[in-house]
Structure 1
Amino acid sequence: MTPHNASDDSRWSDLDRPPLNATALRRGLIREGGLYRDIEVVQRTGSTNSDLAGRAAGGDVDEGAVLVAEEQTAGRGRLDRRWTAPPRSGLFFSVLLKPTEVPVARWGWLPLLTGVAVATGLSRAAGVDTALKWPNDLLVTVGEEERKAGGILAERAGADGIVVGVGINVSLRAEELPVPQAGSLALAGAQGTDRDPLLRAVLRSLEDWYGRWRRAGGDPSASGLQDAYAAGSATLGRAVRAELPGDRSIVGEAVAVDGDGRLVIATENGVQEPVGAGDIVHLRPA
């Protein structure tokens, strides 16, 4: 028998990073009356969001379809920023949601809802305190420093769907970080970096929060979502700069997330300005 040299592409090339078990995930998450219909794990793709949105537009998938990639080669954040990480070092997945009974005006809450669900699931399963930077970054503390360990991207898919994509750095080591200010669950002191229980916890939490929000007709207050988001927010109560479309910026204190999911910034001249889209820079520690 010839000796086997594990190449970089071998599924066992990094024993700290075992592959996900799609069969076990399906068994643990798909149930009668539940949200999830199908869970597929692929070795490598450009972007799970693009793949799932394409299938949804073609009418090939139902609500609750989940696509997970062991490696994303063209993962996207907001503003088309690239997101790359070594194979099996993180959780990269997308879920198709069709909240047809919720008014479309409230669909803007879905990325915030996903953030609450991910933070809740990770605190349970990894013992890591994750905070939410508006609108869709997941922050962890490494040393004394706040760092981005994940992000969320929601995109319309077909006439009645939204694909919510999540990327989380799980086992990335310091030398593997894409930028020095990035972080990972491992660097934040996670109890474990086995991705199977982490993914299950996050998907169960998403199913729970999405169900609550849907039953409340998408009302962020009645569903408890608005309060949960505020409680987990790293942005509220801080001095921030909002970089807005058209090269405009606002500086002030982030005081609330309003009923439409917008960040309300109180400026120095006493005006409260809601921001619906833009880049937020935290100017000082909480």
Structure 2
Amino acid sequence: MPRGARERRVRHSIPGRPDHQRPLLRLRALLLDRRRVHHPLRAVARLELDGVPAARLAQRWGVPQCGVFQRLPSSLDAIHDLGAQGAPAGTVVLAEEQTAGRGRDGRTWHSGAGGVWLGMLFRPAQTDLSAFSLRAGLVVADVVDEQAGRTLARLKWPNDVVVGDRGRKLAGILCEGRWQGEALQWLALGIGVNVANPIPPALADRAATLTEFVPAVRRLDVLDGLVPALTRLAAHGLRLTDAECAAFAERDWLRGRQLRTPLFGRAAGVRADGALLVDTGVATAGVREGHVELA
């Protein structure tokens, strides 16, 4: 660690576990700031993202503060820690590498150097956030297509951005809220995008990187489109608009495919509240939670 650098240890907020049982999250190699740094965060190293000093990223993207870490267990967990400490909405955390990246249901996300491992803090007024991850997926897909110069990204309910007929995973979205009684305290959004990071051989038939399609793309190119668009998500209504439903339908990778779970039947699109529609042969049912397995 460079001379004069400091290391801050922050409690990792896991609901339902006593403080003494909660692991400590070590926040290292952090540079921030649009105007002033939120008190628990301190600049402790000189990091750059694709040649841009981390201290300039917040101003570049119009967010209150941005932290860049050499290594984190999870950028999403870091956002939860910062949310508990009162960090402002729009706070962004980026990790060069995640050692314990995760997706839905605790699945492992391989997060090596070269990818975009992003966490972002929201404090929305509304409490029904069923459509939030689908909106985030539309944003990611638009950014991917902009970089590719063509329609490339498709969406797989509930939280995957995929490419090709095989549905190789390019990006994933995970939203987690923290509540006090009936009141939503904050929402943590985690987004992982495979840009130029190595894909483990065992996952090569199920995952893809953006550099396969756009060899010269940089993480900064992706983030320049992604972060400013994400800041506007909390201003949207509870339900997807007609235009958003149409945009999702154009990218819907699941539609028409036979499913084993979350219900046995044929995928029939998504509803405005974010639910997956499944034609069971008897009726069309809406499913708001669960993971998908093809039959």
Give the alignment's TM-score, normalised by structure 1.
Answer: 0.77
Q: Aligned AA for 1:204?
A: P
Secondary structure of the residue aligned to 1:170 is coil
Contact 1:118 1:205 in 2 (8 A): no
Give 1:153 shift: 0.7
CA distance in 2 between partners of 1:177 and 1:190 (Å): 23
CA distance in 1 between partners of 2:238 and 2:166 (Å): 35
Structure 2 counterpart of 1:261: 274
Structure 2 counterpart of 1:274: 286
Matched residue count: 242
Structure 2 counterpart of 1:194: 218
Q: Aligned AA for 2:269?
A: A
Secondary structure of the residue aligned to 1:108 is coil
Question: What is the identity percentage for the equivalent residue pairs of Structure 1 and Structure 2?
Answer: 28
With a CA cutoff of 8 Å and minimum separation of 6, indicate the structure with the bigger relative contact order.
1
Contact 2:64 2:91 in 1 (8 A): yes
Secondary structure of the residue aligned to 1:50 is helix
The verdict on how the C-alpha distance between 1:262 and 1:146 changes in structure 2, with shifts beyond 3 A counting, is same
Contact 1:85 1:178 in 2 (8 A): no
Gaps of 5+ in 1: 1-16, 31-35, 244-249
The verdict on how the C-alpha distance between 1:19 and 1:240 changes in structure 2, with shifts beyond 3 A counting, is farther
5 Å matches for 1:1-286?
A: 18=50, 21-30=53-62, 36-59=63-86, 61-87=87-113, 89-100=114-125, 102=126, 104-105=127-128, 107-127=129-149, 129-141=152-164, 145-157=166-178, 159-173=184-198, 178=203, 180-187=205-212, 189-190=213-214, 192-211=216-235, 213=236, 217-221=237-241, 224-243=243-262, 250-268=263-281, 270-283=282-295
CA distance in 2 between partners of 1:90 and 1:42 (Å): 13
Gaps of 5+ in 2: 1-48
Contact 1:95 1:163 in 2 (8 A): yes
CA distance in 2 between partners of 1:110 and 1:241 (Å): 25
Give 1:78 shift: 0.4
Contact 1:111 1:153 in 2 (8 A): yes
The verdict on how the C-alpha distance between 1:38 and 1:177 changes in structure 2, with shifts beyond 3 A counting, is farther
Structure 2 counterpart of 1:6: none
Give the alignment's TM-score, normalised by structure 2.
Answer: 0.75
CA distance in 2 between partners of 1:118 and 1:92 (Å): 13
Contact 2:122 2:234 in 1 (8 A): no
